[in-house]
Amino acid sequence: MGIMVLLGAFAFCVVIGTPVAFALGISAIAAFWYEGLPLMIGFQRIVSGINVFALMAIPFFIFAGELMFHGGIAMRLVRFASAAVGAVRGGLGIVNVFSSMLFGGISGSAIADISALGSILVPVMKEKGYDADYAVNVTVTSSIAGIIIPPSHNMIIFAIAAGGGISISKLFLAGVVPGILMCLCLALAAYLVAVKRGYQAEPFPGWTALLLAFFGAIPGLLTAVIIVGGVLSGVFTVTESGAFGAIYAFVVTLVVYRSITIAKFRLAVTQAVKTTAMVMILIACAGAFAYMLTFYRVPARTVDLLTGLTDNPILVLLLINLVLLILGMIMDMAALILICTPIFLPVAHSLGIDPLQFGMILLVNLGLGLCTPPVGSCLFVGCAVGKLPMEKAVRTIWPFYIAILIALMLITFVPAISLTLPRLVGG
């Protein structure tokens, strides 16, 4: 009955519109009260949920992403991607995908990706004769590259939710190949849709223009190199690399590009504080919720349930993917990472799946959920940027969904995609 109180209170809070973070906290406290446990323990679990040093990296990563978003780095990455791949049929669609891969790998945020690149590329694509739905669909689906390609604060949340025993630097490495693979699948989908609709290629700007665009993008691209390279080399901890990355982003936008103003800096600080506050409240409340899930043995029961349905590991993995996809359509990503990791990671472990590979499976599934109705935040933001009704976007987005699902199946059933790089570089 206690588990019904926990889940029922949570479902009720979500249905009446309570923010997910507070829904997690309220339902956890309700379960504590029902079981007669001291409420002080519940509040201690809430506080201990964010009393983790590794979480200090999150505000630094978020702030670095906001500085790069408002400091003009996105525009230079778009110019470089356009010069490199814009001469292909439907080239602006492919430019959109590879710009997301470059900027997402720096900002680590899907929403920042859409806001920065969408506001630049969607109007340009419309001007060049591309349909609004195509422009929005490419922008929305490619934005989740920032979740997979390091550095990503969602990977830090996953590592914390997994109990802190997973190396964040190895998680960063594990995301490189899956992220690139997903972007290649999306680029192919963008090309095929462009050919079907008869979009024309952009003229090649010449090697000189390509080199100039590349050199202009180097300072921004080095942000990700410094952050990830510093962690992997042992020069920085994850937290230190985030702090240094924020300082570097500020110096680049202020001294090199000279594009950051006091107003833009103030906006970057404000947005970073708001986002950090939301993430930290969510993590804190999820700590108490996860405690009660463990109290009711939900992870162990889930393992028994799924392995009891079938002993075929392929079917179990497909079931996990299906559940994560459905949950991703109706809930926020960070909350689901915190809730689903302690439930499904033991199942994955029982099947012999490496935690690094499971992390990639989880992130891709929940990333796809950001692009799907009814609660897909990336889809809402993309449609707002493109001034397109959501129903029109959803009607033609399915080729891009298929591309992400193909990448997801490869990541799920080919462990080498996620594990080769961490084993080669991470030892």
Highest mean pLDDT pick, 71-75, 256-260, 329-333, 355-359: 355-359
User: For 164-168, 219-223, 328-332, which range has the lowest pLDDT when averaged over its residues?
Assistant: 328-332
Q: How far is CA 269 from the centre of its chain?
A: 21
* pLDDT score at 412: 92
- For residue 395 the two structure tokens come to 């009607």
| CA–CA distance, 101 with 117 (Å, rounded to integer) | 11
pTM, to two decimals: 0.81
Measured CA to CA in angstroms, residue 349 lies from 98, 104, 226, 298, 316 at distances of 34, 30, 33, 15, 12
CB-CB contact of 98 with 303 (8 Å) = no
| CA–CA distance, 64 with 248 (Å, rounded to integer) | 8
Q: How confident is the model at residue 413 (pLDDT cuts 50, 70, 90)?
A: very high
**Contacts by residues 181-185 (CB-CB < 8 Å, ≥ 24 positions apart):** 181/407, 181/410, 181/411, 181/417, 182/144, 182/145, 182/148, 182/364, 182/403, 182/404, 182/407, 183/97, 183/98, 183/100, 183/101, 183/142, 183/145, 185/403, 185/404, 185/406, 185/407
The residues, ordered by sequence, that sit 6+ positions from 336 with a Cβ below 8 Å of its Cβ are 324, 327, 328, 366, 369
- Exposed e or buried b per residue across 195-205, where buried means at least 16 C-beta atoms within 10 angstroms of its C-beta: eeeebeebeeb
| CA–CA distance, 353 with 367 (Å, rounded to integer) | 20
* pLDDT score at 402: 94
* pLDDT score at 114: 75
**Mean pLDDT across the chain, nearest whole number?**
82
* pLDDT score at 331: 73
Highest mean pLDDT pick, 92-101, 186-195, 329-338: 186-195
Please report which helix (H) or strand (E) contains residue 279, including its range: helix 262-295
Q: How confident is the model at residue 18 (pLDDT cuts 50, 70, 90)?
A: confident
- For residue 241 the two structure tokens come to 């690399």
Highest mean pLDDT pick, 11-25, 84-98, 217-231, 370-384: 11-25
| CA–CA distance, 31 with 4 (Å, rounded to integer) | 9
* pLDDT score at 208: 85
- Tell the burial category of 309 from Cβ atoms under 10 Å away from its Cβ (0-12, 13-18, 19+): exposed
| CA–CA distance, 361 with 318 (Å, rounded to integer) | 11
* pLDDT score at 410: 95
* pLDDT score at 105: 62
* pLDDT score at 427: 55
Mean pLDDT of 352-381: 85
116 secondary structure, DSSP code: I
* pLDDT score at 417: 94
Q: Is the pLDDT of residue 374 over 70?
A: no
Q: How confident is the model at residue 255 (pLDDT cuts 50, 70, 90)?
A: confident
- Exposed e or buried b per residue across 89-120, where buried means at least 16 C-beta atoms within 10 angstroms of its C-beta: ebbbbbbbbbbbbbbbbbbbbbbbbbbbbbeb
- For residue 394 the two structure tokens come to 């959803």
Radius of gyration over alpha carbons of the chain, in Å? Answer: 21
Q: Is the pLDDT of residue 78 over 90?
A: no
Q: Is the pLDDT of residue 229 over 80?
A: no
* pLDDT score at 426: 59
Q: Is the pLDDT of residue 325 over 90?
A: no
* pLDDT score at 292: 84
Mean pLDDT of 18-47: 84
